[in-house]
Structures are given as C-alpha cells and as structure tokens.
Amino acid sequence: MKRFVFLVTAVGEGYGGLEHRASTALLCSRDDLPREGETEVTERYRAFLGLASHEYFHTWNVKRIKPAAFAPYDLDRENYTTLLWASRASRPTTTILPSSAAG
C-alpha cells in the first residue's frame, strides 16, 4: 500500500474509529489534540495516538488477515465465528507499544 489516510474529525466530545482497507475514520474531542506551540504529550493525546494506531493495525489484522469464516465476505448474511476475539484481542500490545515509543 502506497498511501494510508487518517480522516480525523475533531468535535466537542467524541471518541471512536473505523478502519477501512486504505484509510481510517477517527472521531476525537478537540481537547485530545495538541495545540499550536504545545510541547507536552498529554494523556488525552496519548489516548488519541492509541486509537489511531489501533485502527491502523486493523488494516492488516482484520481487513487482510481474518478468520476463515469471513473469507470471502458474504454481505448478504451475518457471518458468525468464535475467532473474532483473536483479531480484536491482539490489539493491546501491538498498538500500545508503538504509541508509547512515539510519544
């Protein structure tokens, strides 16, 4: 992939994200982002970086590497699997470590 886009929508209050194949849509509070001239990495910004790395990680570990029950995708019906925890649960160490190193 040559390009990955982070679409960040900063609002009064909000938090969440959704990964896509080559992008992610992130929702955060304006207070989560650093202000011009600010040099301190706040806990709120660290949480935002965790969200961004979490959704970026899912570009591979859900969108490309997925349980067999989801391949190929059948959007005409629900797809059940007991393995979704494997793609979601590996998040803590794979996203906390990079965001800690970054900030």
User: Tokens at residue 101, please?
Assistant: 């190193």
pTM: predicted TM-score of the whole model, two decimal places: 0.68
Provide the edge-to-edge strand list for the sheet that holds 23-29: 5-11, 23-29, 16-19
Q: What is the pLDDT of residues 7-64, one digit of tens each?
A: 999 999 999 998 888 899 999 999 999 999 999 999 999 999 999 998 888 777 666 6
Q: Nearest 5°: phi and psi at 4? A: -130, 130
- C-alpha to C-alpha distance for 50 and 54, rounded to whole angstroms: 6
Give pLDDT tens digits for 69-95: 667 777 788 877 776 555 555 544 444
C-alpha dihedral, 65 to 66 to 72 to 76, nearest 10°: -140
DSSP H helices, the chain, are: 43-57, 84-89, 91-102
